Structure 1
Amino acid sequence: MDQEYAVRVDHAVVRFNMASERIDNLKEYFVKLVRRELMFKEFLALKDVSFQVGKGEAWGIIGTNGSGKSTLLKLICGILKPYKGSVKINGSIAPLIELGAGFDGDLTARENIFLNGAVLGYDKHFMQAHFDEIVDFAELWNFLDMPIKNYSSGMAARLGFAIATIVRPDILICDEVLAVGDFAFQQKCERRMTEMRENGTTLLYVSHSIDSVKSVCDHALWLDHGNVKMQGDVETVGNAYMEALR
């Protein structure tokens, strides 16, 4: 029974220390640090968060800016560690938190496909075999030999998404990465995510578009200032969230 979950978060707390006074230079910072005069105030980005994602489910993480959505995804990916509580993962994760984080702006898109693939753990032969598929999906054949630094954010996102989803992971994590793309490409990405779900991939999806969350997800988790405000089926939670915004 334990193997039926993909992600389980139990009473997770994420804490950050924020300097309580302004320090203008590095020297002053280290002097205060040595003298133990540096004061911090505690900021809890997530407060006692618990939820469980079954294998093959799609969860939308919703909430206003600063509610803890991205922090929760980084916790699940292992980028952050919980101050209290635990996070358990069943399966491989493909995190789409910062598309193109492995790109080099001075290299062409063609070169960056192989570079980004290497960052994600794919060898050259694998990338060669999937090269046409990546460029077809990203719709960038006319811009392959242009340096990435000359790409718009939407073009870079398209390429990053195409590379990151060539392998069907057990768990796909998407954080607002489609917001920079045009509407037609957003729909194309949603179709690919739906297709991956139909093949058994579990999805965690952050978006400010409730319509997008409803079209892709079957469950939703509503965060408010680091607290779980509500969780359950996507229609009920989504409607309650929109009502609260009004």
Structure 2
Amino acid sequence: MTAPAPSRVVRTAPVITVDGAGIHFRRNRRASRNFKDLFAGRQRRRRPVDEFWALRDVSFTVQPGEAIGVVGRNGQGKSTLLKLVAQVILPDEGRITVDAGVAPLIEITGGFVGDLTVRENVFLTAGLHGMSRAEIQQGFDEIIAFAEIGDFVDTPYKHLSSGMKVRIAFAVIARLEEPVILVDEVLAVGDKAFREKCYRRIEELLAGGRTLFFVSHNAKDLRRFCSRGLYLDKGSLVLDDTIDAALERYETDYPSA
């Protein structure tokens, strides 16, 4: 009898690799001299430099199609981690490799120009994210319809309410075909109906095989989208486990959070 051939395990390469990543910031600026000090040749007393590590020695990998919730208190490095993955900022130590395009829903209205109209901002922002003019024109009506601001399409962006700005920004970013989606509490200012509409869109993207990083303090939302959780505390990755385990550990450590 011939022995069966060993089964082959198909492994995919990680779409994101974070290896010993860390980044530090300075709380206090160095004291500068004013004109009077310069004229008198005086040096101001320098305050001691106060630096802190927002993240330190963080390592994990992400496979294509995973949905990951990032858990922790305010100021523990969650948003910083997303910015590192988005390569908006670079680590001071370690290495971060992202082998796919990223659609960042981080500080979602950043990059929009106040004096430009909504229409002009759609073309500008989508173009900066790699969409061709023809692709933007083809999807423009759908973007405006999703945002529900058709009457304001030729209004300067600076005259929109904060909620309307979020609507148009999400509609543009969610239209991108990037494989990795980064979401950082950006829908908190949206009304309930529109927020649910955005969440359904995120679910559609996940069903299509996208990879999700989702930062939120809402346990219900985290459990809705995510199967895996990263728990950050004091800039360190405390736990990398299921989303339920990450939330339970966080709630145990900070029961009043």
- Alignment correspondent of 1:4: 13
Q: Does 1:72 find its partner at 2:81?
A: yes
Note if contact 1:134-1:159 (Cα within 8 Å) is conserved in structure 2: yes
Give the secondary structure class of the aligned counterpart of 1:167: coil
- Alignment correspondent of 1:47: 56
Note if contact 1:220-1:237 (Cα within 8 Å) is conserved in structure 2: yes
Q: Does 1:212 find its partner at 2:221?
A: yes
Give the fraction of aligned pairs with identical amino acids, expressed as a percent: 39
Note if contact 2:18-2:60 (Cα within 8 Å) is conserved in structure 1: yes
C-alpha distance 26-2 of structure 1, shift in aligned 2 (>3 A): farther
> Which stretch of structure 1 is more off in the superposition, 3-12 or 154-163?
3-12
Q: Does 1:243 find its partner at 2:252?
A: yes
- Alignment correspondent of 1:168: 177
Letter in 1 for 2:195: Q
Letter in 1 for 2:162: S
Q: Output the CA distance in 1 between the equivalents of 2:103 and 2:165.
A: 18
C-alpha distance 146-11 of structure 1, shift in aligned 2 (>3 A): same
Question: What's the TM-score, normalizing by structure 2?
Answer: 0.85
Note if contact 2:32-2:44 (Cα within 8 Å) is conserved in structure 1: no
Note if contact 1:168-1:196 (Cα within 8 Å) is conserved in structure 2: no
Note if contact 2:12-2:63 (Cα within 8 Å) is conserved in structure 1: no
Note if contact 2:33-2:44 (Cα within 8 Å) is conserved in structure 1: no
Give the secondary structure class of the aligned counterpart of 1:4: coil
> Which stretch of structure 1 is more off in the superposition, 2-11 or 129-138?
2-11
Question: What's the TM-score, normalizing by structure 1?
Answer: 0.89
Q: Does 1:190 find its partner at 2:187?
A: no
- Identify, as 1 or 2, the structure richer in helix: 1
Q: Output the CA distance in 2 between the equivalents of 1:66 and 1:125.
A: 41
- Alignment correspondent of 1:157: 166
Note if contact 2:79-2:184 (Cα within 8 Å) is conserved in structure 1: yes
- Alignment correspondent of 1:108: 117
Note if contact 2:228-2:243 (Cα within 8 Å) is conserved in structure 1: yes
Give the secondary structure class of the aligned counterpart of 1:174: strand
Number of aligned pairs? 244
RMSD, aligned CA: 2.7
| 1:126-137 paired onto structure 2 within 5 Å | 126-137=135-146
Letter in 2 for 1:173: L
Note if contact 1:61-1:204 (Cα within 8 Å) is conserved in structure 2: yes
Give 1:124 shift. 2.2
C-alpha distance 75-139 of structure 1, shift in aligned 2 (>3 A): same
Deviations 1:173-223 (A, max 9, x none): 111111111122121111111111111110111112111111011111111
Note if contact 2:37-2:44 (Cα within 8 Å) is conserved in structure 1: no
Give 1:161 shift. 0.8
Q: Output the CA distance in 2 between the equivalents of 1:74 and 1:102.
A: 15
Give the secondary structure class of the aligned counterpart of 1:228: strand
